[in-house]
Amino acid sequence: MADIIPAKFCAGCGHPIVLMMMHKILKEKNLEKKAVLGLDIGCSLLAWNFLPINTFQTHHGRVVPTMMGFKRARKDSVCFAYVGDGGAYAIGWQSLFHMARRDEPITVIVVNNTVYGMTGGQVAPTSMVGQTTPTTPEGSVEKPFLGLEYIKPVVNEKAFLARTAVNNPKQIQDCIRQAIETQQAGHFSMIEVLSLCPTNWHTKGAETLKYLEEMRSVFKVGIL
């Protein structure tokens, strides 16, 4: 019991759900030892000692190329690039897009909470029209960034692209299973998970889930 370390995520955060589902599938597939989890900056980094698998930290927006390099060097590994919506679709978009286009065989998991969570909830490319944040006090005016839909036209036909949400853990598991199989078959896979950030949304209980429902009406879940 001395090994148990308290998680660093806020109460009600969606990150632990995603990480636990990923771990469940790795155990099911007996891949814990082959798995390598790369973390971006943002609240993803709070996972650095959350799971009993090899994990390392990269710079903001740079987890995707880092894991690409790791995979090229260790082809038998199962590589995950775990990144927030800001890391994936703002600062890291250039490398993510080209890596998807080149069909690099890693799995990218984008945890979309529509804000820059760790730095105080500022507007992100994924913020919804009208969303108020510390940097958009009168509401965001830009259309939200649909990363998967933008990537879809450039990927190999065998790539796996899916969007799911933390209120459907079974679907998260199915997506992770298919993403791993796609990576092991030598192709790119990416899952965007609609997540919860009650701390920056300033929501409680049912209000938080209502917010997630609003996200689901903008970001369509399912396999693309």
**Footprint of Mg ion (CB under 5 A):** 84-86, 113, 117
Smallest separation (angstroms) from ligand SF4 to the CB of 103: 30
Of 72, 13, 90, residue with least CA distance to 47? 13
45 contact, one of Mg ion, ligand TPP, ligand SF4, none, CB 5-8 Å limit per kind: none
From residue 194, give the alpha-carbon distance in Å to each of 49, 76, 109, 153, 220: 23, 30, 11, 22, 10
Smallest separation (angstroms) from ligand SF4 to the CB of 84: 8
Contact 14, 196 (CB under 8 A): yes
How far is CA 147 from its chain centroid? 11
Q: List the one residue from 17, 199, 215, 219 that touches ligand SF4 (CB under 6 A).
A: 199
Cα dihedral 111/112/118/122 (nearest 10)? 170
Binding mask 36-75 for ligand TPP (x = CB under 6 A): -----xxxx--------------xx---------------
Smallest separation (angstroms) from ligand SF4 to the CB of 16: 9
Residue 112 touching ligand SF4 (CB under 6 A): no
- The Cα diameter of the chain in Å comes to 49
Segment 38-77, which members bind ligand SF4 (CB under 6 A)?
43, 46
